[in-house]
Amino acid sequence: MRDEQRLRTRTPESRAFADRVQAVMSLTGRLNALPFDDLDARRALLRDIFGGPVPDSLSILPPFYCDYGLHTSFGERVFVNQGCYFLDFGGITVGDRVLIGPRVTLSTAGHPVEPDERYDFITHAPIVIADDVWIGAAATVTPGVTIGHGSVVGAGAVVAKDVPPMSVVTGTNVVERRRIEPSDRRVDGGGQEGRVSEVSRSSTARSGGQRSRP
């Protein structure tokens, strides 16, 4: 993970982080319970979640989920669709005119891969989304990633390395696992399997292989 930092668990700093997570989860719960047209209350809760004023041009559609809030910054005319997750302890920077599709996850934190360290540290690294980026539905951006200006991230992609400016990246492919062979048994509209072919075979057998004439 590029620019990775570590927070040791079971320390005053990690306890302060956990306290903030609890507070923000409560705030996002209240945000997501608001009537959709209560824009003033929504903006007030977003200020509490992010620890200060947010641009008037910012649009975040609930439900919205965040675990820290204090390390996210937004440019102008940013649109965040429904069901997104911002896990921002490591820092999330969102540029101007960024479009973020539904169910996108921006995750800046994790744990060490080594099992003997996994429960002792929280790892984190910043995510930077430059101006005019469009992130498609259900994409996941991992810690330490920068997405260059004007780029597009396809729906469902998992972005684990930097995206150059003015690029289109996708991370999903349709993989053909096997072919389904057509059955040689037919079902008629009444649900009777192969009735016509069975009658035909029976008639042929009785006539010694020759169809009987009418």
For the annotated catalytic residues, the residue numbers are: 111
Amino acid at the residue 145: V
CA distance linking residue 190 with residue 36, whole number of Å: 50
CA distance linking residue 66 with residue 50, whole number of Å: 9
CA-wise closest residue to 125 among 111, 140, 139:
111
CA distance linking residue 70 with residue 52, whole number of Å: 8
| First-residue to last-residue Cα distance in the chain | 82
CA distance linking residue 71 with residue 90, whole number of Å: 7
